[in-house]
Amino acid sequence: MMLSRRFTIRAVIALGFALLAGPAAAESVLRDAETEALFNDVARPLIVAAGLTPASVQIVLVGDPQINAFAGGGQNIFIYSGLIENAANVNWLQGVIAHELGHLAGGHNVRSGEVSRPASHISILSLIAAVGLAAAGAPEAGLAALGVGTATAQAQVLQYSRNQESSADLAGASFLAKAGLSGSGSIGFFNKLLGFEYRAGIAQANSYGRTHPLDGERIAILDDVYKASAAWNTPPDPMLDARFQRVKAKLVGFVEEPPRTFQLYPEKLTTEAARYAHAYAWHKSAYPDAALGEVDALLARQPGDPYYLELKGQILLESGQAKASLTVLRAAVAAAPKQPLIATLLGHALISTDDPADFAEAKPLLRQAVIADRENPFAWYELGVVYDREGDAPRAALASAERFDLEGDPMRAAMSAKIALAGLPNGSRDWLRADDIAQVEQNDLVKKKRR
C-alpha cells in the first residue's frame, strides 16, 4: 500500500453518501493492488446494473478517517478509508458504491451547474440591489437585501443537493436489486450514521440547511424499498466478504497507529484478517521479525498468495534486506502478472540493490508497469532513475515530467518536458508526449497567473 497524489480531490464535485461535509483539499490517495482488485470486483455488477461501462468507472481510496464517499467528475468514486474501517461487511460497501453510482448515472456532477448558475444570479442581483440601496442612503436596507439574496441562493443549492441525494438513494436501491444484492448493508450504514447523529444532537432536527437528508428520513424511505427486493435476505458472498475483511484489516494496520490496530485486532487473535493487521502494525513499530512471523503464518495458510508475498517483500526491503526481498517479490509478480503496483515494488527493490544487473531487470519491468498504469508517479520516478543511471537524460526528464504532471506540479512538469524535448528525436513518440505535457502545463501556468 502506498500514498499517491493521483487525483487533486479539490477539483471534483462533492456528492456523497456522507456523514460529514465534502472533502478537504488535496487529500492523499492510497494505492494498493489488492484493494483496487476488490473494488473492481465489488463494483462491476453494480456498474452494469447502472447501465455504465465497468472500464470507465474508477473506485479510488482516499486516506481520511471520515466516514465519507463521493462521486466526482470523470466517473470516479472516492471512498474514504474511515468508511472502510467502519463497514461491517462487503454488503455495506456495495450499498455505498450503489448510491454513488446513482449520482454518476444521474449526471449529478455535470448538472450541478443547473442550480449554481441561478443561485449565483440571485446573489449577484441581491448585491446590485444592496449597492443601490446603500447609494440611496439606506445601508441597513442594503445589507438586508444582500442577506435575503444570499440565504435564498443557499437554500436553492441545499434543496438541490438533498434532491440529488434522495434520487441517488433510490437509484442505488434499484442497482442493488438488479445485481441481486441485498440493501441490508445500506440500511446498516445508515443506522450507524444515525447513531452518530444522535450523539451530535442533530438526529431530531429537520433537514433544511443540510446537503443530505437526515439518515432517519432516508431509512424510513428506503427500508420498504429494499425489503421489497427479492435479494433482501441474500447474505453477502462469503468469498467476496473474506477478501473485504482482509482489505479492511490491512488498511487498519496501514493507517492506524499500532496501539489502535492491536486494540481492534488483539494480539491473541490468529484469524487471517487479524494476522494481516498485526503484520502491518509490527512493521510500523520497527519489529521486522515479528512482522515477518505474521506474514509467514499467512503464507502457510495461503502459499503463493501474491498480496502476502508482496507484503513480505516490502517488509524485507524496508528493513534493509533488498537482495532478500527480490526472490519474494519476483514470486509475487509471477502470481499476479497483471498487477503493475506489485511490479513497481519489485522494480524499486531491484534499483535499491545498486547492482547493474538488477537495473537491467528493472527497466522492462517498470516500462510495462507505466504502460499498464500511467497514473502512478512512483513508477515514473523509478523509471526515471533507471534512465538517468543509463545516461539517457532526455527520457529521464520525460519520466520526471510524467511524475510531476501526476503530482500536480505544473512548473516542474513543464521544465522537465522542455529538457526532454531538447534531447529527444524530433517527431518521435516520446518527443510528441513531451510536447503535449509542455503545452498543457504551460497553459495551466498561464491560467493560474491570470487568476
Domain ranges in the chain are 1-255, 392-451
State residue 193's pLDDT score: 77
348 CB-near residues (< 8 Å, 6+ apart): 317, 378, 382
Read off the DSSP letter of residue 20: S
Is it the case that residue 450 has pLDDT exceeding 90? no
pLDDT at residue 197 in the model: 63
Average pLDDT over every residue of 404-418: 94
pLDDT at 166 over 80: no
CA–CA distance, 381 with 257 (Å, rounded to integer): 28
Confidence label for 386 from pLDDT (cuts 50, 70 and 90)? very high
- Given this model, what pLDDT does residue 202 score? 55
Q: 298-320 pLDDT, tens per residue?
A: 999 999 999 999 999 999 999 99
pLDDT digits (tens, 9 = 90+) for 60-92: 999 999 988 998 877 899 999 999 999 999 999
Confidence of residue 401 (pLDDT cuts 50, 70, 90): very high
pLDDT score at 28: 87
Element (H, E) at 267: none
How many C-beta atoms lie closer than 10 Å to residue 38's C-beta?
21
Question: Which listed CATH number (1.10.599, 1.20.58, 1.25.40, 3.30.43) goes with 392-451?
Answer: 1.20.58
- The more confident residue out of 352 and 135 is 352
Task: Please name the amino acid found at residue 167.
Answer: S
pLDDT for position 428: 96
Question: In this predicted structure, which of 113-127, 189-203, 397-411 has the lowest mean pLDDT?
Answer: 113-127
| pLDDT at residue 208 in the model | 40
pLDDT at 261 over 50: yes
Whether the CB-CB separation of 416 and 407 falls below 8 Å is answered with no
* pLDDT over 60 at 48, yes or no: yes
Report pLDDT for 114.
52
Average pLDDT of the chain, as a whole number: 83
Per mean pLDDT, which range of 223-227, 246-250, 338-342 is the poorest?
223-227
pLDDT of residue 246: 98
Q: Rounded to an integer, what distance in angstroms lies between the CA atom of residue 328 and that of residue 344?
A: 14
Cα–Cα distance, 254 to 283 (Å, whole number): 9
Q: Which residue has the higher pLDDT, 334 or 70?
A: 334
Reported confidence tier of residue 448, pLDDT bands at 50, 70, 90:
confident
pLDDT over 80 at 144, yes or no: no
Residue whose cell numbers read 473485504: 244
Q: What is the pTM of this model?
A: 0.81
Q: Report the alpha-carbon distance of residue 418 to residue 435 in Å, rounded.
A: 8
What is the distance between the alpha carbons of residues 321 and 288, in angstroms, rounded to a whole number?
11
> Cell digits for 240?
467476496
The strands making up 58-62's β-sheet, listed across from edge to edge, are 2-4, 29-31, 58-62, 76-80, 69-72, 15-16
pLDDT of residue 74: 78
Q: Mean pLDDT over residues 231-254, rounded?
A: 97
Spatial CA neighbour of 108 closest among 149, 77, 136, 85? 77
User: Tell me, what's the pLDDT at 213?
Assistant: 53
